[in-house]
A and B are shown apart, each in its own frame.
Chain A
Amino acid sequence: MGVVEEHDGWSDVRGMAVRFHLAEGRSTDLVSMTLPVFFAPTPKTFLDFARKARPARCRRETPWEKIKDYLRLQLPMPDPYPGQTERPNEGAIAFANDHFWAQAAVLDASSIGAPVSYVRADYHAVHTFVVTGKEGEKRQVRFTWAPVAGILDTDPLKPPVDAYLQDDLKKRLAHGTERFTLMMQIGEAGDDFEDSTRQWPPHRKRVMMGTLTLDHVPEDQQALCEKLSFNPWHLTPGIDPSGDPVLKIRKDVYAYSSNRRGGIPCPFSGAKG
């Protein structure tokens, strides 16, 4: 689900990848997105979903179709943005109508909006990881970056602006810093540890792990952003991937993608792109 062209003002999911540089040259990655839940529980079902939700030619509902929706107490599909000719929404919704496990993500993705700034959105690592404590105890956890500036989307009733997120970040960081808090939610027996279509209740124990401070945007965006490669399996001892089959396949998918776009190889980039 998603459109290749970038339109900052369009409702869509955004991502954030963070590499923690640790002692003795070690590092660990955390790859996250603004959607809190995933579309499918397994690689096979995700492929089924992706085929159905491939962006397709879209049209505006006629006024009569919209009135019919209102009379059914349903919301019409949003009008396409100016210049928008295709989108994944119709295919994704049709797929979700037959597959309950896709409904939470499709509903969230359909209404996610556009953040006013990269630092006014929360980012979820979505999959479960297994962390090991000092005494060797293991816990299943999920991570979220919560913006200290708060979450805020653009007004969907105003015309969307095509490119503003990079400039906004540069302006903000020219005058100060922006911060995110890393929250860790602890799962309990009975929660789904291997299915990222299933969210955990918000009242599970959560731990404030620390703060990420952004202080500048590097000038060389090609070398210091576009060429970088992250991998959700690039983890430090003490953090392990869960058995989530979608997380499992992301290891090779990220390495393949890194090779294909000529990125700086990530630790698993043996695969040929």
Chain B
Amino acid sequence: MSDDGGWLNRYVNTLPERGWFQFLSKYVVVPYWVWREGKPKLPGGPRPSQQPSDSTQRMMNLLMPLKDPSPIGRAKAVMALAQNVDEIYAGLDNVGTVHSARFLLVEDYICMISVYDGDFSNYIRDFIATIGSVFDALMQVVEGGDKLAPCEHNVEAFIDWVRAHDLFQAPDFPIEMFGLQDAQVGKVPNHPPHALQTLPRALILQLHANRNISLGGGYRGYPGFSAAQIRQKLGVGW
């Protein structure tokens, strides 16, 4: 909000919305800061925690790049899933820790968005055990997937691959971004504290390293309850 700061002040206040300044920022200012203090990519998935509600309803946002993003390549990806719908539903029922899961085709990615309970690595292991054949079919249409099939013979490599393609989950409280960036380069988080004014830069540089991110941990209608607890309470199995 401007008061009587004169035309120059008013003009400067609108700089971030002006095309020429956005061009300058995109092609000069941001690359300069990336060169000067660029951030390493932050890992995907939920962060380790011992607390009970942190290990229920975890979010997975898996972005798998399509080998062939043309309509034919996309159709192959759709078919790989469409031909395995029964396997997916039966497998997820048997995993027992999944609240919801769905596949999306967005731009050049096939995405699996799911909500699950428990440890990430065990979730992927359960997946391989129950719907490994679906992922084998999927890996044929995904960039870099050839090396991973069959999943059951490449369990650890497959887990690493999924972790690398699961989106970084931005902290629920913005100020925690500083600490995550410190920890990623081996520094003690917030020692010394960062200047508050530098938070926009920290975010911009992180978004340069992690182009796609999950915005926070996500909303939960009934947080802290596992799929098994809900099923038991509702009398629908397990």
Contact = CB atoms under 8 A, between A and B. Distances in A.
Interface residues of B, number: 48
A48 interface: no
Interface stretch (B61-69, B71-79, B105-113, B167-175): B167-175
Contact of B51 (A107, A191, A206): A191
Interface stretch (B10-18, B116-124, B127-135, B143-151): B10-18
Interface stretch (B82-90, B96-104, B152-160, B192-200): B192-200
Contact of B224 (A83, A97, A159, A205): A205
Interface in B50-65: 50-54, 57
Interface in A200-228: 201-206
B1 A81 contact: yes
A108 B4 CA distance: 27
B92 interface: no
Nearest to A79: B2
Contact of B15 (A67, A78, A93, A205): A67
A273 interface: no
Contacts of B57: 203
A106 to B, nearest CB: 7
Interface in B3-29: 3-5, 8-9, 11-13, 15-16, 21, 25, 29
Nearest to B218: A203
B1 A203 contact: no
B190 interface: yes
Interface stretch (A69-77, A117-125, A230-238): A69-77
A188 interface: yes
A96 interface: yes
Contact of A79 (B3, B11, B50): B3
A159 B3 CA distance: 9
A107 B199 contact: yes
Interface of A: 60, 63, 66-67, 69-75, 78-83, 93, 96-100, 103-104, 106-107, 110, 156-160, 186, 188-191, 199, 201-206
Contacts of B196: 93, 96-97, 103, 106-107, 110
Interface of B: 1-5, 8-9, 11-13, 15-16, 21, 25, 29-30, 33, 49-54, 57, 172-175, 190, 193-201, 204-205, 216-220, 223-225
A71 B51 CA distance: 41
B223 A157 contact: no
A81 B2 CA distance: 7
A159 B205 CA distance: 33
10 smallest CB-CB distances across A and B, nearest first, come from: A205-B224, A73-B201, A82-B3, A100-B193, A63-B12, A203-B223, A100-B190, A74-B197, A188-B51, A97-B195
Given A72-B201, A73-B30, A100-B190, A79 B223 contact: no
Contacts of A74: 197-198, 200-201
25 contacts: A60-B9, A66-B9, A67-B15, A69-B197, A70-B25, A73-B201, A74-B197, A75-B197, A96-B193, A97-B194, A97-B196, A98-B193, A107-B196, A107-B199, A186-B224, A190-B50, A191-B51, A199-B173, A202-B172, A202-B217, A202-B223, A203-B217, A203-B220, A204-B224, A205-B223
Given A103-B175, A201-B172, A203-B54, A63 B8 contact: yes
A265 B59 CA distance: 50
A63 B50 CA distance: 49
Contacts of B217: 201-203
A228 B150 CA distance: 71
B14 to A, nearest CB: 10
A60 B1 contact: no
